[in-house]
Structure 1
Amino acid sequence: MEEKKEWPLKLVWSSPVLPKVGVFTWLALKKRILTGERLSRLGFLGPFRCVMCKKADESLDHLLLQCEEAQMVWNFLLGKLGWQTPLPNSVFELLSSWNIQSHISVFSSVWLVAPSLVVWEIWKERNRRIFQEKEESSASLLSRVEREISESVSAAARNHSLTKYPYSSEDNFIQANWPLVNCQPVNGSWRVSPLSEPTKDEVKWEPPTKE
C-alpha cells in the first residue's frame, strides 16, 4: 500500500515568508492556481504551452517542478542547501518529503522559506513572460531566488534568541553557502551589515544638542 503523505502545513503557515507567498503555496498544493491545464478544464480555449520551456503543455507540476527551467532552480536550491535527493514528479510529493529541520538554529529558517519562495518566484517569472512579454535570463532568475530567500532568512534571524540557541557550525555552513544572508552575531546581538566609518563626502547624523 502506498504511504500516505502528510500535508506540509509547516512550510505554508509556519514559514516566515509573506502571507501571500504562503497562500500561493497552499493553492499550489491544492492544484487551484490558474495554470493552462486548469484554465482548459474551466472551458477556456488554448493553446496553453509552457512559457518557461516552450516544450510541453502547462500543468501545475510541469510548471513548478518538471519543466527544465524549474528543475534548474530546484537543483540550484538543493546544491545551496547541501542536500542530495532525487526530485519527485509532483510538487505535493516534494514538499511532503521536504527536509524540515527538527532542531532550531540561527539560520534554520532557510529550510522553511526556500520551497515556498521557489514556487512563488517561478510563478512570477511565468506571469512576467505572459503578461509583460519580458523574459529574465536563467542567471537572473537564480539570482532573484537566492536574494529573496536570503532576505527572508536574514529577517527571521533578527528575531532569533542567541542566548537560547547560539550560533553553531551549521549556521556557519549556511552562511558560507548563502553569502547574501547578511546577519552576523556580534557580542550577543545582531549586526545586519558590516559597520564602516563615513567618508568625508558622507553626512553622519547626530542627535541635536540640548540648549
Structure 2
Amino acid sequence: MVKVNWTKFVWIKDALPKHCFIGWLVMHGRLLTRDRLKRMGITMDDTCILCDSAPESHAHLFFACIFSQKCLQLLSQTLGCHLPTVGWTAWWLSQSFRSQVQKRSVAAHLLSLIHAIWWCRNRCRLEGYLPRPETVLAHVVHGIKL
C-alpha cells in the first residue's frame, strides 16, 4: 500500500477551515456515517440516504454513491480535469499539476465538495430535502470564489 501524506492535500491555505476539517475527518474515516452508527448500536439502518442503494460508509458516501459521482462528474467538467471516483491515492500521486496554485485549487474544490456532500447528507437526513447535484456544484464554486 502506498503511503500518502494527506496533510498537504487537506490543510491548504486556499480552503476554508471547515472544509479542511471535514476532509481530515474523511481521510481518517472518523465521520459518523450510518455504518459506524450501526456498529455503535445507535441505528439499525445503514442504507445511504442519498441513493438508497448501499450501506453508507466513507468510501460509498464520498466516492461510490450515485449522487456523489454525479457531483464529482460536474466538478470534473467545471475544472477541466478528470477526477476519479476510485483510486484516489494513485491518482493524486500521478498528477503532474502545472503549478502549486493549480494543485491547491483542485484540492480546495475537492474539499469544498466533500463538505457539500456531507451537508447534503445531513440535510436530507434531518429535513428530508436533497438538492440537485447542479445546485451542490454551484454552492461549491461559489464558496471557492469567496
Q: Settle same-fold status: TM greater than 0.5.
A: yes
Letter in 2 for 1:18: L
Partner of 2:136: 141
SS at match of 2:10: helix
Change (3 A) 1:136 1:17: same
Deviation for aligned residue 1:104: 4.4
Partner of 2:51: 53
Partner of 1:127: 122
Change (3 A) 1:123 1:95: farther
SS at match of 2:86: coil
Deviation for aligned residue 1:51: 1.1
User: 1:37·1:48 contact (CA, 8 Å) conserved in 2?
Assistant: yes
Higher relative contact order structure (alpha carbons within 8 Å, sequence separation ≥ 6): 2
SS at match of 1:22: helix
Deviation for aligned residue 1:13: 1.2
Matches of 1:100 and 1:127 in 2, distance apart? 35
Deviation for aligned residue 1:116: 0.7
Larger Rg: 1
Letter in 2 for 1:77: L
Partner of 1:16: 14
Partner of 2:31: 33
SS at match of 1:50: coil
User: 1:12·1:25 contact (CA, 8 Å) conserved in 2?
Assistant: yes
- Does residue 150 of structure 1 match 2:145? yes
User: 1:51·1:129 contact (CA, 8 Å) conserved in 2?
Assistant: yes
* % identical aligned pairs: 25
Deviation for aligned residue 1:31: 0.3
Matches of 1:100 and 1:11 in 2, distance apart? 14
TM-score (norm 1): 0.61
Deviation for aligned residue 1:95: 7.6
Structure 2 unaligned spans of 5+: none
Provide Cα deviations, 1:153-187, integer angstroms capped at 9, x if missing partner: xxxxxxxxxxxxxxxxxxxxxxxxxxxxxxxxxxx
Partner of 2:66: 68
Matches of 1:53 and 1:108 in 2, distance apart? 30
TM-score (norm 2): 0.84
- Higher helix residue share: 2
Matches of 2:27 and 2:50 in 1, distance apart? 20
SS at match of 1:20: helix
Letter in 2 for 1:11: F
- The one of 77, 96, 99 aligned to 1:79: 77
User: 2:84·2:91 contact (CA, 8 Å) conserved in 1?
Assistant: no
Deviation for aligned residue 1:15: 3.7
